[in-house]
Amino acid sequence: MHNEEFSFVHLTDIHVIDAESAKLVERAFREIHNLRPLPDFVVIGGDFVENGTQEEFDSFLPVFEKLQIPAYTLCGNHDLVDGIDPTLYQRIFGDLCYAFDHKGYRCIMLDTTHRDYETYSWHGYIRPEAINWLRGELSRLSGDHPILLFTHHGLVGSREDLSCDVENSDEVLALLDGYHLIAGFAGHAHRLRCNKWNRVPFFVNTALSTTRTNPGGEPHGFFVVSLREGEVSVDYHLLSKA
């Protein structure tokens, strides 16, 4: 299978609360536009806002509309109205689980938000309907078809540092076993991490936010991900000073 070389940007956990806090994202978008080669697309991995309110999304969307390359999004736990309802996110961005093809790769966007009305938690959980969707999605792929997996909560790593924060992560990884997974990408933990499962790297990104800090003190930045001949490389691009 022939796979073309390309790059994309992954950023996440921007936690916008107002127009002022959205300015950092606007700076990041300007720097993305100046990257050479220009990335093919941007993935924003969830937690667009802090409290899931219409007012917060209204502060972010004018900035989002300035992005000049295709963007793909995931819902984060902070994007849920009252911590349980994804309706507002869906009205703005669309499906919670979906996939797309890009230059020979299948990019899988898997929702990990926990929405049990009795036991709501900000930890991740992949609901039965999302598991069934993933099972169906994988059934249409051959074993050698390269896959990039995107989630908000991490699937691999430590529970303590939240690089793995999906309650049923083992169930998901069991479904992926035997497929040609190239890499996984997540946020939520606000830390820079690269953990491995079956020799597959799972990258965890920091928060690009003025309202939330990175526990490890990582400066603001985003991933620039390059794919070449089925190999992945990730650089952490530091934002320039304002």
Q: What is the pLDDT of residue 118?
A: 65
Digit-coded pLDDT (tens) for 36-72: 999 999 999 999 999 999 999 999 999 999 999 999 9
Dist. CA 185–CA 13, nearest whole Å: 13
Helix 54-64, helix 23-33: angle, nearest 10: 20
Closest CA to 144 of 187, 105, 97: 105
* Full set of structural domains in the chain with CATH: 6-238 (3.60.21.10)
Contacts of 54 (CB under 8 A, 6+ apart): 88
Give me the pLDDT at residue 77, please: 95
**CA atoms of 153 and 32, how far apart (whole Å):** 24
Residue 15: left (phi > 0), alpha (psi -120 to 50), or beta?
A: left
| pLDDT of 29 | 98
* Average pLDDT, integer, range 86-100: 98
Average pLDDT over residues 4-19: 97
Q: Which residue has the tokens 């300035």?
A: 66
| pLDDT of res. 241 | 78
| 120 pLDDT tier (thresholds 50, 70, 90) | low
Q: Is the pLDDT of residue 242 over 70?
A: no
pLDDT tens figures, 202-235: 999 999 999 999 999 999 999 999 999 889 999 9
The pair of three-digit structure tokens given for residue 130, joined into one six-digit string: 């999302």
pLDDT digits (tens, 9 = 90+) for 142-166: 999 999 999 999 999 999 999 999 9
Nearest to 220 by CA among 66, 90, 31: 31
Q: What is the DSSP letter of 37?
A: S
